[in-house]
Structure 1
Amino acid sequence: MKILIVDDETPIREWIQFSIERGGNPEFEIAAVAESGNEAFDMALKHQPDVVITDIKMPGMDGIELMKKVLEVSPYTNFVILTNYAEFSYAREAVTYGAKKYLLKSELRGRDILSTLEEIYGEIQEKAGNKEKDCYSNGYLDIFDCYYNLDNKEFLEDFWKRHGFRPGELFLVTAFEQRDGVRQKEVMDRLVGERKIHAIGPALKNRSIYLIFQAGSGEELTEAAEWFSEGCRRENLGLMVSGHMGKGLASIMEAIEEAEKMLRYTFLLDTGYLRIEDAMELLPLDRASIKKNCQKILAGILYEGEEVIQEALVQWFQSLHGAPFADIQWVKEMCIQLVIRIEEICAAHIPDFSEEHHQDMDWTLKVCGGLCRNLVNRIYSEDNFRYSQSVRDAIRYIHNNYNRDISLNEVAQYIYRSPEYLSRLFKSETGEKFSSYLMSYRLNKARDMLINTDMKIYEIAYAVGYTTPSYFSKMYRDFMGVGPEVTRSQRNTGGARGTKADG
């Protein structure tokens, strides 16, 4: 099992390599070590590793972007993500995009790395052990070796001809998401037999099923695919997608990858038949407007009424229907990020909150919409939604203007209340004085910047509303229990923990 290690910190790279080598498993080979995402991508293309252990936050190409690019060209690669406490959101996103596991750097032990690698190795061996010649034990055609022989024309010709490919005919690659693999194959085999369609497969790759149709003309191919899709719809096999028609063995692997990308539409649709030609005719989404509305929803939670937020969520998710081929992956990422951001708001306001999404969740637009609406409902429940409109408006004003020299008088004027009234109301509902809440919010923002940015300390002081860096440092030290320079030094050791702000 070939392993690629990626981290921009030399001690981390060397320690992971040492831990693997000390483990003594003769099946684990460190194929390469890289210090950046760009370098790692080149090495992945060269060495075709089975496992990539990568830091999630690196200069240039980060771990998530590296994972996406590698999986496009080498879909069987397994990823293990290394993360700090401050990067939990990114780590959770990485798992939704296909990472096997994420490990915390601050708690990482050699045996954790080895046990993770042994688990992945066991999965690989199980798949290999259950195979017959070119087929899995469940009867699906296995195209694994085709990806490791993309430059071997002789191998590919022999493989596809052995399974009935007719070089002189047109072909169309169709794809399905695997749900109930045994039943899906039984239905596909039966439909192909009923119509006597010339088909290759079905083939299985990860969670994708491919069936390749062939015919002498484009009309015959189109008619066969549409007839087959209608049968699949009746049998509830899920969404069927297809790429462009092709001809000749040289383009078959590219056609399979094209159909694989079309399966991204299972995020939006759960049934029917979608051709790439139809998807490419859809108009591009207004990404800027969608992002703006997403931020508006997040900023409004706790400060707008629940009905307003719920209606905004419904409209936002509706705006994502009909996404063109070029936007579909971006849509999925936006939806997942929205779920995670709302979960973070829940975690800050709901005692003992636990995430509603999990690693094996089947992410779809419908699922994301339901999660978001349920999370918002929990936030606005009687136990958690405890602030009056005036206090919510005041808190929102602080969050939007903390980087300026704002005062109680200014905020009171903004919400059309007297300073005395706002002061009493704010303290009675939040349990904090207005000035204490403002200071706490500013200093926690400063801590995030110290951990996650390269800004100088005096720049951070100005960015969170302090006009005197020395006064900022004093306030930070009194509030956090450590100086800002100490927090900055902790950015590479798991983030600042155990401060007063954390309780």
Structure 2
Amino acid sequence: MSYQVMIVDDEPEIAEGIAFLIQRFCPECQVAEVAYDGLEGYEKAISLRPDIILTDIRMPECDGLEMIRRLQAGGLSTKYVVLSGYAEFEYAKTAITLGVEDFITKPVEEDELCAVLQKSCRSLQREQENHEKLQHMKSTMKDYVLKDFLERSGKYTETIKDYLEQYDFPVSGRQYVCLVTDLYETPERERRQEFLRLVKEKELASLGFLQACFAVEYSQEQIVLTGALKREMEPRSLHYAAEKLKNQLTQLLDTTVNIGIGMPYRNVEDIPKSFEEARCALNYKIMKGSDCVISYTQICDIEDSASPILPEDIKRLEECIDRMDDEGCRAAIEEIFRKISEKNTLSLEELQMLSLNLILSGIRKIPFVQFQLNQYLGKNIFSLESISKFRTIEQLKNWIINTLRSMNELMLKDNLSEKKDVIQEAKEYITKNFNREIGLNEISEKFFINPYYFSQLFKKKTGETYQNYLIGLRVERAKKLLTETDLKIYEVCEKVGYSDANHFNKVFERFVGMRPSEYKKQRR
């Protein structure tokens, strides 16, 4: 960083000589101006406001010390370094009492000049760092005070009032309102900080409806805007103003923005109520989709209505869960959420309860999964707040589908070791009974296993489906009978478990490549 230096000396040769030395030997300093008496120095310093003023003491019209007094009285915060001859030592001591940073004896030596200027630069740097830390602390404290106030749910005290007034918060406005903004999929702190800067520097023209606006970074994604309205506004007008704000933020921050709006209130102590309403409204983004503005009045207008989901829809899902049919579960849930999207009148509480019931449909059918819920559901599935973590209804739907699929996979994995011998036992049973009608339900009842689960497990263990395995046994037995006996085709058909000769012929031809009669002739 380069610091600006102004030189004040009534001797042009000395002033220009000092300027030359600074430019050559002090790279951290830049000579911004030269004045040749105290009055000129005062006027230029007020206009330029340099970081360091290097001034002689004895000058006509106005000496250096008088110039310093006037500048200090005018509020100029800068570093003063005085030039003094040995005979002017008493003047130098007076200068120190005025808060002068240092003094340099004439004639000026480059080493001494550089040392004094470097000392002043270091002092300026420390002051700047301390100022930034103080500002950060003030900003942090301000955010803490405002967040604490927002979360106090109306517990407005004189202490809170004093804090708000200390930070120039208007406590006697006409109406107060809260807006909660959600930067969709924008976790980058730089973008959030840019949002806060735009508010602080009053660069958002769309915030013109607020007399004073304060922004608080409430979470990684949410920034709260609160303040006093310039004039009383109806909810519709407030909604329109928030739409303009959303559009401007979307353009400036290059991201999707959602905004929830609380109700406007006349008393400052009701701001926490407006804040809670704005948060509640924003949660409805899951129903409205991204890039939306939702006011609390809108969600209050949602009337109680009959659920679009029929008992038959839940029953269909439970049947699929019973069979551990992943694709069936997906189709059932897709249909349920299609109806939700078409109706679009469910309250957030109704959506939460419906989602919970869909998950419980799986849990009721698979009791052991209850011991491993946290792996899939998280700790807060039973709270309404958890629904707000989903940004769109599509995300919620996919989460439910994946959760039920995970339950199915967990059940398959858990039962695999317990049923390690059931497939071998089932194969032996099929081998003994394939000559009669035998289906999955009979196998399931015999071995106390879900039919759909048995079908999946059989393929996993043998590499082929139960049906193909059964047909394979029957065809091999039929080939043996056709080769070694004089049984007619229909008799062979009955011997291997088929009651329909035409169906037997088609199955045999599909597996062997020729009809039973052709096979029999070929083998004789």
TM superposition score category, shorter chain reference = 0.3 to 0.5
Q: So what's the TM-score if we normalise by structure 1?
A: 0.43
Could you state the TM-score of these two structures normalised by the residue count of structure 2?
0.41
Query: Higher relative contact order at CA 8 Å, sep ≥6: structure 1 or structure 2?
Result: 1
